[in-house]
Structure 1
Amino acid sequence: MKSLLVATALALASTTAVADGNASGHSHGQTSIGQPGSAAEADRSVTIRMVETADGMGFEPAALDVKQGETIRFEVENTGHMDHEIVLGTVEGNRAHMQKMAEMGPMRHHDPNALQLAPGKAGELVWTFSEPGSVQFACLIMGHMEAGMHGTITVN
């Protein structure tokens, strides 16, 4: 009986690990929005604040312009009272990821294009924008993007 319980627990743990590992669909290499960068090679730093207001939630600033090939060190501060995250992606990719998260339940991101922060905490995300176009940054925690927690990075 004891071995059956251990086997069941291991099976559940491995299923969870596989689900978490495949949940994001992001690779650690280059994507259509760029690739992870090195803080030592950052061209500049940009502070982004995660905020909660009477009107909803958001990022300050909510729009940024970067140059193609530029490496940005995002210094992210959660000034709110709830957990928040910032995920870099395409609008379509973030929307699909958010739907997948709704189906699978809450999980922590372990991808280089994402950062999750508890209230009052700060962290950094370093990204190189290798392709021109538009990149969305959003909080994909259920209800947060709908409350206004998204922004746009224009890569020229």
Structure 2
Amino acid sequence: MRTIKFIAACALFISASTSFGHENMPHHASGAPVAKEQKDWGIAGDAKAVRRTITLRMGDDMRFTPSHIEVQEGDTVRLRAVNKGQALHEIVLGTKAELDQHAQMMRKFPDMEHDAPYMAHVRAGQRGDIVWHFNRPGTFDFACLIPGHYEAGMTGTITVRPRSR
């Protein structure tokens, strides 16, 4: 089943009439509606519900600082990714399995166009935000999936502590 999904995704990306590198990707405008799709690690959040901003620094040493963050189940958080390096970096939230699969696809199609509320592409010296509602407890991952960056260890984890009942 995973192979069929992977092949279908590849066909979709190949058939796109225009292909952009990450540096040309559209970004969500602050007032633009965001498609909300429940993921294992949560759902896109509303900026009005943000009570906490966590700054994650990215650098050409292929690391995130901090590389581990903790939030409470039910929190809507602004993850602010600040690129301190000279190269393009990104942050993508997901499970280890999904990030592995996406990284593999990125190696095959490094210029594929994609955009989702759980990712931010950040040029050198810039910043990008993800507003995310962590509505499920667990340990999840984030990574830079630009070819070579993930393989170099540009990853981190998010622990979502269960809400006290």
Partner of 1:129: 134
CA contact (8 A) 2:103 2:150 kept: no
Distance, in Å, in 2 between the alignment partners of 1:51 and 1:82 is 8
User: Which residue of the partner structure matches residue 86 of structure 2?
Assistant: 81
What is the aligned residue count? 135
Q: Secondary structure at 2:100's aligned position in 1?
A: helix
Alignment of 1:41 onto 2:46: no
3-state SS of paired residue (1:102): helix
- 1:19 to 1:130, Cα distance in 2 relative to 1, 3 A: farther
TM-score between the two structures when normalised by the length of structure 2: 0.75
8 Å Cα contact 1:106/1:141 also seen in 2: no
Letter in 2 for 1:43: R
In the other structure, the counterpart of 2:65 is 60
Normalised TM-score (structure 1): 0.79
Determine the structure 1 residue equivalent to 2:4. Answer: none
Q: Is the 8 A contact 1:108 1:116 kept in 2?
A: no
**Contact 1:134–1:154 (CA<8 Å) still a contact in 2?**
yes
Structural mapping, 1:1-156, within 5 Å? 15-17=15-17, 28-53=36-61, 57-156=62-161
Which amino acid in structure 1 is aligned with residue 148 of structure 2? G
Amino acid across the alignment from 2:99: N
Which runs of no fewer than 5 residues in structure 2 stay unpaired? 1-12, 21-34
Root-mean-square deviation (CA, aligned residues, Å) is 2.2
Distance 1:109 1:49, change over 3 A: farther
> CA offset at residue 75 of structure 1?
1.4
Q: What letter corresponds to residue 137 of structure 2 in structure 1?
A: P
Structure 1 residue 52, shift from structure 2 partner: 2.1
Residues 119 and 46 (structure 1 numbering): CA distance in 2 closer, same or farther, change over 3 Å?
same
- Per-residue CA deviation, residues 72-119 of structure 1 (Å, 9 max, x unaligned), is 101111010100000000000000011112222323431000000111
Deviations 1:8-60 (A, max 9, x none): xxxxx98125999xxxxxx741111100001211121101111123xxx1101
- Which of the two has greater strand per residue? 1
Structure 2 residue identity aligned to 1:77: V
Structure-2 separation of matches of 1:140 and 1:117: 12
The whole-number CA distance in structure 1 between the counterparts of 2:127 and 2:112 is 19
Q: Is the 8 A contact 1:109 1:116 kept in 2?
A: no
Identity %: 39
